[in-house]
Amino acid sequence: MKVLIGVDPHKASLAVAAVDEASGELLERASFPQDRTGLRALDRWAKRFPERRWAVENAGGLGRHLAMRLAAASESVVDVPSKLSARVRVLSSGNARKNDGVDALATALAASRNERLAQVEPEAASEALRLLSERREDLVVERTRALNRLHGLLRDLVPGGVARTLSADRAARTLRSIRPQGASTRLRRQLASEVLRDVRTLDRKIADLNERIGAEVEASGTTLTQIFGVGPILAATILGTVGDVARFPTKAHFASYSGTAPLETSSGEVVRHRLSMAGNRKLNYALHMVATCQARSEVRGGAYYRKKIDEGKSRKEALRCLKRRISDAVFRSLVTDSRAPSRSVA
């Protein structure tokens, strides 16, 4: 009998539910502490089901440790998005009641009804790119926050304030021109100098990380960078977010995942579509950046963008059409990469 084990992970515990894959019948529920002792107990419990596979809710978050541990032990593991398991829980029970055991069962049922869930790999080539991309995003957020603090301090030091676009060099020139009068002004200038040093430090870290990401992307051998508007940073974001492209049977499935496929809202004889706010927003943003770049060009995507405007579409609608076109190109590139001889990511 083939068994699917659904896992609802928490910081301190793991709720699991074993179901018969063929019938969807609940076989057993259990709960284990999420520590070394609990994980060993979970291993012993799971061995009672020789033909098993796992469905871990949010395998990229609270379930990451368990999912990677299972994958390293050659277990079959899929990642179930939290929204999907929540939707299955409501549809299966008919109400919004929940507890850990119900969530684990919903996770298992969601995996049994969906063949396009991401397979968790022990050492996915895209994992390094995902980690580096997330680190870069964190540094950029910190730099933006520091620049906002610096802008606020300079606003109170310079008559009329400073330009909205602020760089470390411009802030340094502004600080050198200030002759503080009074204790509070001197303190404000001192704090601005300290924040400026933080900004310069973050600039160096981001620059170093950009070089590292560029080297990783080049080592991956991806053809994504051949798409106009896709540089190493966006390529790393796309590769790290998508992972294994084989889970998408067609470009339409990939477009649905990226949020570039419009949703049909037809009724009766009225046929219409609306913008999809579903899908992976990080991937959608990356495609949006590529579309914005192409729309400004004179060739390639720019010509297609202007053609759609000439057909009567608004600028936003034309950009959405271009995003879908780019989504298809990215999907083709990823499929091509997956079929090429593998190259290790250092």
Q: Looking at residue 52, what is its pLDDT? A: 95
Only one residue has tokens 């100098």, namely 193
pLDDT at 346: 40
Encoded tokens for 212: 């590292």
pLDDT band at 123 (very low <50, low <70, confident <90, very high): low
**pLDDT tens-digit profile of 25-72?**
999 999 999 999 999 999 999 999 999 999 999 888 889 899 989 998
The pTM score is 0.76
H/E run at residue 6? strand 3-9
**Type of residue numbered 106:** A
- Asked whether residue 93 carries a pLDDT value surpassing 80, the answer given is no
Residue 120: DSSP 8-state: P
Strand-pairing partners, residue 9, are 14
Which two tokens mark 103?
């969530």
**Torsional class of 81: left (φ above 0), alpha (ψ -120 to 50), beta (otherwise):** beta
Which among 309, 257, 246, 315 is positioned nearest to 286, based on CA atoms?
Answer: 257
Q: 59 is written with which tokens? A: 């395998």
Query: In sequence order, what are the residues at sequence separation of 6 or more whose Cβ sits closer than 8 angstroms to the Cβ of residue 143?
Result: 199, 202, 203, 206
Give tens-digit pLDDT for 143-187: 999 999 999 999 888 877 777 788 899 899 989 988 888 899 899
